[in-house]
Structure 1
Amino acid sequence: MRENILINKIIKEKSESRMTELLLIISGAVFLGMTARISIMLPFTPVPITGQTFGVLMIGLVYGRKLGLKTIGSYLAAGMAGLPFFSTAGPSILFLKPTGGYLIGYVFMVLICGYLTEKGWGKSYIKTFGIMLLAETAMYLCGMIHLSFFIKANVLEMGLYPFVIGDLIKMSLVTFSVPSIWKAVDFFKK
């Protein structure tokens, strides 16, 4: 299982050491915070287009389930504490904002990506895309259920449809990147 986690192949030092793990968690949380800054507000929905799903998918596929969960948890805690890690500024209590369900959905995204990566799915382009479809579905379910408490309009029109094309583009980038990194790492480790 450990051999199917990409970060363990990249880092020569055992990634279980406390210092290495802490640095990976912090760098992953900062990476997610940076992807959140890529944000476009749409006039008809409280949900912005962001780069966060790209970041969460990468974290799950590269870090695996355990380290990915710690990273997402740290990211969410830092954002709720007021660090500029979410697409909207300021401290945030997740359940009090329309976008909170999507943020909670990131936990499920990382669980799905990490678990299936640990099973060896992250090395194949097709399986990687399949992992992400499952992960995105879980995130959208959480997001739209939560969003339905804040809006009375059609939740699909405000919480899913505007984001499908962008997410397919982000998923395509990750689909190309992660298995390609695996191939490069395997090539240079020989």
Structure 2
Amino acid sequence: MSIQVLTQIKKSVAMKDLAQIFLGSVLLAIFAHVKIPLPFTPVPIVMQNIIAVLLGIVLGPKKGFLSVFMFLMEGVFGLPVFSTMVTGLQVFMDPVGGYRIGYLISAVLAGMFAHSKKERSYLFPILVGLVCQYTLGMIQLSYFVGINKVFFLGCAPFLMGDLFKIACALTILKFLKPKS
């Protein structure tokens, strides 16, 4: 193969990667607006949490991270991509900012576990990703609602819905089969 052919292949792979990363950020932005606000907590029910985990699993930890990072930067720079419609650096400082940071880390962790040679099921990577999101989200939320209320306002109301999301994610992953 000539150097020109190799260079062209490299460029097309890079374009494919960029397209996947961009589409992942678009999916997160779209699903941000599929929300159910709850009157007793500043944290709405959203689909973003499971989408962030799926991006890590489907795209891998690196591209999953970059997808979520791009999504977060879209919000920082003023695009209305978050369920709370907050923009700027405030996206990391409001009551749900910890969950957003959790999206970033959960994409990496879920992707790493899903693509490890030892992991045979997607359930564990999904659970690791969601636990990461809840942990970081509740840490930050506790500054706004207090440590005594954080579990009841930042986790408990969402567990049943997350069971449904996990079932949907596992079904989707059966058809996508991102593992090699």
The structural deviation recorded for 1:90 is 3.9
Equivalent residues in 2 for 1:90-101 (5 A)?
A: 90-93=86-89, 94-101=91-98
Identify the match of residue 146 of structure 1 among 140, 164, 168.
140
Choose from 90, 104, 116 the match for 2:113: 116
8 Å contact from structure 2 (residues 61, 112) kept in 1: yes
Contact 1:29–1:72 (CA under 8 A) maintained in structure 2: yes
Q: For 2:105 and 2:97, how far apart are their aligned partners in 1?
A: 13
**Offset of residue 155 of structure 1:** 0.4
Q: Which has the larger radius of gyration?
A: 2
Q: Quote how far apart the aligned CAs of 1:62 are.
A: 0.3
The amino acid across from 2:23 in the alignment is S
Bigger mean CA deviation after superposition, 26-35 or 16-25: 16-25
Q: Secondary structure at the match of 1:149?
A: helix
Structure 1 segment 24-43 matched on structure 2, within 5 A: 24-43=20-39
CA change 1:121–1:176 in 2 (3 A) is farther
User: 2 CA distance for matches of 1:171 and 1:80?
Assistant: 29
Note the alpha carbon deviations across 1:35-82, whole angstroms, 9 max, x for none: 111011111000000010121122111000111111111010001112
CA displacement at 1:112 relative to structure 2: 1.1
Q: Does the C-alpha gap of structure 1 residues 96 and 76 become closer, same or farther in structure 2, counting only changes over 3 Å? A: same
Shift of 1:180: 3.1
Structure 1 unmatched ranges of 5 or more: 1-12
Q: How many residues align?
A: 170
Q: Which residue of 2 aligns with 1:136?
A: 130
The answer to whether residue 4 in structure 2 is matched with residue 20 in structure 1 is no
Using the size of structure 2 for normalisation, the TM-score is 0.86
Among 46, 61, 65, the residue aligned to 1:65: 61
Preserved contact between residue 50 and residue 130 of structure 2 (Cα < 8 Å): no
**What value does the CA root-mean-square deviation take over the aligned residues?**
2.2
Say whether 1:105 aligns with 2:102.
yes
Residue number in structure 1 paired with 2:4: none
Report sequence identity in percent.
Answer: 33
Are the structure 2 counterparts of residues 128 and 77 from structure 1 closer, same or farther at C-alpha, using a change threshold of 3 Å?
same
CA-CA distance at 1:121 after TM superposition: 6.3
Match for residue 10 of structure 1? none
Q: Which amino acid aligns with 2:37?
A: M
